[in-house]
Amino acid sequence: MTSSALTRPGQRERLSEKLTEIDWRLALVLTVIAGLGGMILYSAAGNNWGPWADKHLIRYGLCLLIMLGLSLIGLRIWFAAAYPAYALALFLLLLVPVIGHSSLGAKRWVFGIQPSEIMKVALVLALARFYHGLTSREAAMSWKLLIPVGLIGVPVLLVAHQPDLGTAILLAVTGFGIMVLGGLSWRLMTSAVVLGGAAVAPFVMFVLKPYQRDRLLTFLHPEDDPSGLGYHITQSKIAIGSGGLMGKGFGLGSQSQLNFLPEKQTDFVFSTFGEEFGLVGCVGLLVLYGLAIAIALRIASISHSHFGRLSAAGVTITFALYVLVNAAMVMGLAPVVGVPMPLMSYGGTVMVTVMVCFGLVEAVRVHRYEEMPSGRGSLL
């Protein structure tokens, strides 16, 4: 865009230059999505700013500032912080079972934060850093791949133990995605997918807690359990389906207004949106999410450093997974695993996580020419 590879020394370090390098189209798309989120939360509260819409928009404003601030941080600093951040996140995750605060039957909180959220970014950074120092041959198939498997596996197991199945799946798939992008050989990739698929059945039967198993299996036949777990899915499908082509209109969604739709402001906010804006609104919203993902992937691909590429792409995978899993969940295509719709669902933690992710993406764009150390053979 405005800047080229040919710049005067130090020019790229200037704040004004950095600000122009920020991808404002991405910021705009994210803001539009968050604005729609605020709008639907206003409607879900019976056309009231409180208790959700106002906080949602204020939070987004703050998170946008965080994103912009993070985008100014040089990639080398991100690079240097990768392993310490991972170590910190892992430490906090280990603390959770010990001094964690439980909520709704699951221990997820420690010191007022969810370590699993930090881990979402930290895992991406750590993997990106690790692959940055790996040759393509090593990345394809070598004993060194046991290190990323460990980097992914340990937090995934810890998070699944909390239990927070949604986040665990998110971490696992994101990590695997980075391994693929890093150059995992097709043979290993295929066997991993096959092994993973084969492990699902015994995992579901023996490792999962009963409520998780019920949740997983109910989505297949929600009508069998109309007042329990199936109620969520059934009412969500009714909400979306009754929206029709054009929707019932802003503020007129009876399913959400009359509380038939559970968690209408959090995990099922997409259903609320679908009821009021119909197929047209839903496709439009998915196009906006797709646009954000496409821009982020484009940013990843123009980065000059492997670390930049993988870290930006990694967080984009996380973001895309949020959207896909949540949308599939509320439409009855996937189990109810408690994954919110990023930027739409009411809730601060995920908003911060997602905007930190996009801060990283923007930082990769702003610092796409930055020379990176090889990082080979050293953990720091």
Partner 1 sequence: MSLEPSIFFDEVNERQGVFHRRAFILGGFAGVGALTLIGRLADLQLVEGARYQLLSNSNQFNFRIRPPPRGRILDRNGIELASNRPDFRVLYRKGEAKEDAADTLAKVAELIPITEQKQKSLLKEIANAPKATPIALANDLSWDDFTRINVRTPELPGVAADMTDSRVYPFGGAFAHVIGYVARVSAEDVEREKTPDGKPDRLLLDPGFRIGKQGVEKALDQQLRGHPGGQKVEVDSVGRVVREDPAGDIHAIPGKDVVLTLDADIQNRALEVFGQDSGAAVMMDVRTGDVLCMMSAPSFDANQFVSGIPSAEYKMLSDYDHKPLINKALAGLYHPGSTFKTIVSLAALEAGVDPKRTYTCNGAFAFGNHVFHCDKHHGTLDMHGAIVTSCDVFFYQTALVVGPDKIAEVARKFGLGQIYDIGVSGQRRGIVPDTAWKKKYFAKQSAEAQRWWPGETPSMGIGQGYTDVNALQLCVMASRLANAKKALNPRLIRSIGGVEEPRGSEVEDLPFNADHIQFVRAAMASVANDAAGTAFEFAQLGLGPIKMAGKTGTAQSHNYVSGHGQHGAVGAWATRDNAWFIAFAPYDDPRYALSVLVEHGGFGASAAAPKAREIMRVALLKDPEVRARVEQPLPLPPTNPNADTGDVAPPPPSDIPGAPPQGPSGPQLQNPNTTDQPT
What amino acid occupies position 99?
Answer: I
Q: Quick check: 217 binds partner 1 (CB under 8 A)?
A: no
H/E stretch holding 259: none
**C-beta separation of 219 from 339 below 8 A:** no
Q: Quick check: 306 binds partner 1 (CB under 8 A)?
A: yes
**C-beta separation of 122 from 360 below 8 A:** no
Interface with partner 1 in residues 34-63 (CB under 8 A): none
CB 274, min distance to partner 1, A: 7
Interface with partner 1 in residues 222-261 (CB under 8 A): 235, 237-245, 254-255, 258-260
Asked if residue 202 has a cis previous peptide bond (ω within 30° of 0), the answer is: no
Q: Quick check: 5 binds partner 1 (CB under 8 A)?
A: no
Residue in 29, 63, 159, 313 binding partner 1, rule: CB under 8 A = 313
Closest CB to partner 1 among residues 63, 325: 325
Beta-bridged to residue 109, according to DSSP, are 101
Write the interaction track for partner 1 spanning residues 317-336; mark x where CB under 8 A is met and - where it is not: x--x---x--xx--x-x---
The count of residues interacting with partner 1 (CB under 8 A) is 56
Enumerate long-range contacts of 73-76, CB under 8 Å, 24 or more apart.
Answer: 73/359, 73/363, 74/363, 74/367, 74/370, 75/305, 75/307, 75/308, 75/363, 75/364, 75/367, 75/370, 75/372, 76/370, 76/372, 76/373
Interface with partner 1 in residues 64-123 (CB under 8 A): 80
CB 347, min distance to partner 1, A: 22
**What ranges make up the beta strands (E) of 65-186?**
101-103, 106-109
* CA-based nearest residue to 357, from 315, 328, 317: 315
CB 130, min distance to partner 1, A: 13
* Positions in the binding site for partner 1 (CB under 8 A): 80, 135-136, 139, 177, 180-183, 235, 237-245, 254-255, 258-260, 274-275, 278-279, 282-283, 286, 289-290, 293-294, 297, 300-301, 306, 309-310, 313, 317, 320, 324, 327-328, 331, 333, 371-375, 378, 380
